[in-house]
């Protein structure tokens, strides 16, 4: 039994030594065979991937309007605003002006002493009456041939002069009264009843504040977006906690060469009479812009001194040059030959070359599979 076991061990040892010798002798052939067997499958996989193209993730191009929100500080004015001035000089006999008092057009605001002017009107009326009677008498005599033509013409001239003198006397009398030129509100009076004033002396401010005008400056770069009728939202420290709606009513015809801005005027309804001329206003406007294509920020690539995106069409990618308009909430608004629905590569751009096929791994929301 022991001899048999030793024999088997000797035989197996000899076989192993022989196998090892053969393997060493043919070691190059064995290594090549081993490497080929294990490399066959990866090569087949790589060939399959190369035929399908590099994998990419895409997104659809969207169309967005390049609207902007513009904010500015402006100054308010009354719809109509004047300084009341004395139409003539003299003593003030009555004064109705008070801060915030409302008047209709034609209402009496101030009265000057008009005794002399009333007498002048009465005298002019008497002279006109006499001139009228004389003209009519000579008219009758001329019709009968009893009066000379020269005498009638003299009477006619006297009548015209008398009528002119009456008109002037009445105008002088009217100038003794200061009346409201339009519906409005008076400010603080600069004079008192009993004062003696001269012609054109300032009396008080007078405003029509049924609507408030607010003027502000707009940079010339935004002038192309501005148009009459655009909505404006305004607020003022004078009325806390409220906003007011208005519209753009006027755009200045010139750009200031120093500030490079244009003057814009907006109008706000003030039916409640809570707004005041001269107050500061904070304004906000939504300025409309052109419609541009928009792509995710990840899609934008910079190469060869220009911005580009990769567009997938018919299973292949093509490089499209674009111009950056602005960034907006994770999207990039661009200008270029892109249309809504174009598929743009957002991930996997590192291995792309113009014209190569790609494998799209996703279907964008709203896109076709």
The CATH number of the domain holding residue 95 is 2.40.50.100
Residues 227 and 274 in one domain: yes
Burial code (b: 16+ CB inside 10 Å, e: under 16) for 210-243 equals: ebbbbbbbbeeebbebbeeebebbbbbeeeeeee
Q: Are 307 and 322 in contact (CB under 8 A)?
A: yes
Looking at residue 137, its pLDDT comes to 82
Query: What angle, rounded to 10 degrees, do the helices at 115-144 and 149-174 form?
Result: 160
Domain count, the chain: 4
Give a yes or no: residue 9 inside a domain. Answer: yes
Give a yes or no: residue 189 inside a domain. Answer: yes
DSSP label at residue 181: S
Residues 217 and 281 in one domain: yes
3-state DSSP assignment of residue 369: coil
Give a yes or no: residue 121 inside a domain. Answer: yes
* Listed residue (212, 205, 321) closest to 267, CA to CA: 212
Residue with tokens 């005027």: 265
Residues 304 and 253 in one domain: no
Is the pTM higher than 0.85? The answer reads: no
Q: How far apart are CA 259 and CA 132, in angstroms?
A: 67
Residues 260 and 188 in one domain: no
Q: What is the mean pLDDT of each run of 10 residues along the chain (369 residues)?
A: 56 63 55 48 45 85 90 96 95 94 95 94 93 83 67 84 93 94 95 94 96 96 93 95 95 95 96 94 93 91 87 92 87 91 90 90 71
What order do you get walking across the sheet with 196-197 strand by strand? 177-179, 108-112, 90-95, 196-197
Give a yes or no: residue 202 inside a domain. Answer: no
Could you tell me whether strands 202-219 and 261-269 are parallel, antiparallel, or unpaired per DSSP bridges?
antiparallel
3-state DSSP assignment of residue 366: coil
* Listed residue (257, 260, 277, 259) closest to 268, CA to CA: 277
Residues 6 or more apart in contact with residue 61 via CB below 8 angstroms = 293, 294, 295, 338, 339, 340, 341, 342, 343, 344
Q: How far apart are CA 340 and CA 293, in angstroms?
A: 7
Looking at residue 1, its pLDDT comes to 45
Q: How far apart are CA 265 and CA 78, in angstroms?
A: 12
Residues 181 and 91 in one domain: yes
Residues 139 and 231 in one domain: no
* Residue 268 domain boundaries: 71-76+208-287
Residues 18-30: pLDDT tens digits?
Answer: 566 555 555 555 4
Residues 133 and 187 in one domain: yes
Q: How far apart are CA 185 and CA 209, in angstroms?
A: 8
Could you tell me whether strands 261-269 and 239-255 are parallel, antiparallel, or unpaired per DSSP bridges?
antiparallel
Residue that terminates a domain, selected from 287, 305, 321: 287
Residues 279 and 191 in one domain: no
Which helix (H) or strand (E) segment holds residue 70: the answer is: strand 68-85
Backbone angles phi, psi at 31, to 5 degrees: -65, -40
Give a yes or no: residue 226 inside a domain. Answer: yes
Residue with tokens 């906690």: 241
Residue that terminates a domain, selected from 178, 197, 216: 197
Other Cβ atoms closer than 10 A to 291: 13
Q: Are 73 and 280 in contact (CB under 8 A)?
A: yes
Looking at residue 174, its pLDDT comes to 94
Could you tell me whether strands 316-328 and 306-313 are parallel, antiparallel, or unpaired per DSSP bridges?
antiparallel
Give a yes or no: residue 245 inside a domain. Answer: yes
The CATH number of the domain holding residue 238 is 2.40.30.170
Give a yes or no: residue 365 inside a domain. Answer: no
Residues 151 and 192 in one domain: yes
Q: How far apart are CA 265 and CA 291, in angstroms?
A: 27
Residues 108 and 16 in one domain: no
Give a yes or no: residue 366 inside a domain. Answer: no
83's torsion region: left (phi>0), alpha (psi -120 to 50) or beta?
beta
3-state DSSP assignment of residue 54: coil
Residue that terminates a domain, selected from 197, 232, 255: 197
Residues 48 and 61 in one domain: no
Q: How many residues does the chain have?
A: 369
Torsion of CA 131, 135, 137, 142, to 10 degrees: 160
The CATH number of the domain holding residue 330 is 2.40.420.20
Q: Are 202 and 87 in contact (CB under 8 A)?
A: no
Which two three-digit tokens encode residue 93?
């006999």
């Amino acid at each position: 039994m022991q001899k048999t076991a030793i024999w088997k061990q000797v035989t197996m040892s000899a076989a192993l030594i022989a196998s090892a010798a053969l393997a060493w002798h043919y070691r190059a052939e064995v290594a090549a065979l081993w490497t080929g067997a294990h490399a066959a499958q990866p090569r087949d996989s790589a060939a399959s991937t190369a035929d399908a193209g590099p994998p990419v993730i895409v997104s659809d191009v969207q169309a967005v309007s390049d609207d902007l929100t513009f904010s500015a500080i402006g100054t308010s004015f009354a719809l109509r605003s004047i300084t009341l001035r004395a139409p003539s000089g003299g003593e003030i006999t009555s004064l109705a002006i008070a801060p915030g008092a409302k008047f209709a057009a034609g209402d009496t605001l101030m009265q000057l002493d008009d005794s002399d002017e009333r007498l002048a009107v009465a005298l002019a009326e008497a002279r006109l009456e006499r001139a009228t009677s004389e003209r009519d008498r000579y008219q009758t005599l001329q019709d009968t041939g009893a009066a000379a033509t020269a005498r009638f013409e003299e009477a006619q001239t006297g009548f015209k002069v008398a009528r002119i003198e009456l008109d002037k006397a009445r105008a002088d009398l009217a100038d003794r009264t200061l009346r409201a030129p339009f519906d409005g509100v008076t400010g603080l009076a600069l004079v008192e009843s009993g004062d003696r004033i001269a012609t054109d002396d300032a009396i008080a401010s007078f405003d029509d504040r049924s609507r408030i005008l607010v003027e502000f400056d707009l940079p010339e770069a935004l002038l192309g977006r501005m148009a009459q009728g655009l909505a404006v939202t305004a607020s003022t420290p004078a009325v806390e906690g409220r906003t007011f709606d208005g519209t753009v009513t006027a755009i200045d015809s010139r750009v200031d060469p120093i500030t490079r801005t244009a003057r814009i005027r907006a109008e706000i309804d003030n039916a409640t009479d809570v707004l005041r001329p001269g107050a500061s206003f904070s304004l906000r406007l939504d300025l409309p812009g052109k419609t541009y294509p928009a792509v995710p920020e990840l899609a934008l690539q910079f190469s060869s001194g220009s911005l580009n995106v990769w567009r997938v069409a018919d299973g292949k990618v093509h490089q499209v040059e674009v111009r950056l308009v602005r960034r907006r909430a994770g999207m990039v608004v661009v200008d270029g030959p892109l249309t809504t629905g174009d598929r743009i590569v957002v991930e996997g751009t590192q291995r792309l070359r113009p014209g190569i096929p790609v494998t799209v791994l996703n279907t964008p929301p709203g896109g076709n599979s």
